[in-house]
Amino acid sequence: MSDLQKTFAKSKLASLPPEPPLREEEQEPDLEQQQTEDDSSSASSMSSTGTVVPTATQKPAPANTDWMRYFAQELYLEHSDGSAAGSPHTKYHVYVTPPATPKTPLIVLHHGAGSSALTWALCAREIRRMMPDVGILAVEAREHGSAVYEADGTRSTDMGLARLRGDLLAMLALTQARLGWAALPPLLLVGHSLGGAVVVDAARSGELGGAVIGYAILDVVEGSAMEVLGHMRTYLAGRPGIFRSVDAAVEWHVRSRTLRNPTSARASVPSLLVQTESGKFVWKTDLGRTEPFWSDWFTGMSSKFLSARGGKLLLLAGTDRLDKELMIGQMQGKFQLQVFPAAGHFIQEDLPDQTAQSIVEFLKRNDRSTLVLPPKVSDLLAQGKKI
């Protein structure tokens, strides 16, 4: 979100020329001339939350099997509290590559609003190239690929931060059960935009106990996020609402500079869409429906980021995004800051290699699983050694 701060002040988005919502009959630009790169990548769209559930006249965009290039497994984790017939139930969607051993860290990746787990595809692959044994868990929030149903069978539209935190914790617990882990491995929580707010809230809650090594957030701070929220309606009014094809949607993301990496865009953009009966494509997630929750997502985030236990990493696309509280914290050395001025809001997609490098270095500095402690004095005495 914070990537839009300056441009919203000028009443237009980044380098995107003003463009009214597209009508269904309008011609969308074709991307056939740009199809020279391999379809191996990840991308995401602008913030939004509130999935358009496919109906009889809608169906998901063509299946994107590229996830197999980046993750070992795709899991659908269903759960019901079982207290009575018609109890609330969930169907979570995650991608996972298990860690090599029970003590090897698991990097948990949470996307931003309106995005999907495949926003991390290229970054996740690069992390695994650098650290082949590390585990990766990329989750999808409710109304972004995961679904939560009320007791009466209706789909939950509650996108409050507490709910999203609960979903993240549930996905971790269900993944642990599905894969037969005796305990959670050491965790590094990583979140982009809204995902950053969710992982910080999870770390601050203490519900994961001592499993959390640290947490990293990408291009989101409380001050700039709250400022941008006042302009979201303007942005949504100017964003195309319909595309003739998946290729056209990919092309729009690249042309508008929402995403600056065409390779990445081809992997994740299909997961952001559903297809109508007419064959055209619309957004799977509707940001406007979540407006009541926007303030809740980011209020108090800076304080929670600074006070939660564990190592702290903040990756930004520009230093102007730091609010006062974080500026003070940064000067006091309370967290690590890295800036990528060549990236847009989607740092993990625009610069996946550099993002992965930062995450890996941060993990190595904070990973306690490889820490070798000196022997206890009592053990040395018991062995008859002189102290």
pLDDT in tens, 30-78: 333 333 333 333 333 333 333 344 444 555 555 455 789 999 999 999 9
The whole-chain average pLDDT of the chain stands at 82
Question: What's the pLDDT score for residue 227?
Answer: 80
3-state secondary structure 148-205: EECCCCCECCCCCHHHHHHHHHHHHHHHHHHHCCCCCCCEEEEEECHHHHHHHHHHHH
Q: How confident is the model at residue 386 (pLDDT cuts 50, 70, 90)?
A: low
Is residue 219 flagged as an active site residue? Answer: yes
Q: Domain ranges in the chain?
A: 73-368
How many angstroms separate the CA atoms of 198 and 189, rounded? Answer: 10
Paired tokens of 268: 């994740």
CA atoms within 13 A on the CB side of 356: 21
Contact residues for 81 (Cβ-Cβ < 8 A; gap 6+): 87, 88, 89
Q: Checking DSSP bridges between strand 106-110 and strand 187-192, what pairing results, if any?
A: parallel
- CATH class of the region 73-368: alpha beta
pLDDT tens digits, residue range 72-125? 999 999 988 665 555 678 999 999 999 999 999 999 999 999 999 999 999 999
Which segment, 21-25, 85-89, 159-163, is predicted with the most confidence on average? 159-163
With pLDDT > 90 as the criterion, what percentage of the chain qualifies? Answer: 64
Q: Is the pLDDT assigned to residue 167 strictly greater than 90?
A: yes
Question: What's the pLDDT score for residue 278?
Answer: 93
Is residue 144 flagged as an active site residue? Answer: no
Q: Which residue has the higher pLDDT, 386 or 287?
A: 287
- Coarse DSSP helix, strand, coil percentages of the chain, rounded to the nearest 5 percent: 40, 20, 40
pLDDT tens digits, residue range 317-335? 987 778 889 999 999 999 9
Q: What average pLDDT does range 180-196 have in this prediction? A: 97
Paired tokens of 230: 């006042």
Is residue 110 flagged as an active site residue? Answer: no
Q: What average pLDDT does range 228-232 have in this prediction? A: 81
Query: What length does the chain have?
Result: 387
Predicted model pTM: 0.80
Considering the candidates 3, 219, 323, 350, report the single residue annotated as catalytic.
219
Considering the candidates 42, 44, 146, 193, report the single residue annotated as catalytic.
193
How many angstroms separate the CA atoms of 6 and 228, rounded? Answer: 9
Question: What's the pLDDT score for residue 26?
Answer: 37
3-state secondary structure 360-374: HHHHHHHCCCCCCCC
Q: What average pLDDT does range 223-236 have in this prediction? A: 82
Q: Is the pLDDT assigned to residue 361 strictly greater than 70?
A: yes
How many angstroms separate the CA atoms of 283 and 270, rounded? Answer: 10
Q: Is the pLDDT assigned to residue 2 strictly greater than 60?
A: no
Considering the candidates 2, 345, 350, 367, report the single residue annotated as catalytic.
345
How many angstroms separate the CA atoms of 228 and 3, rounded? Answer: 9
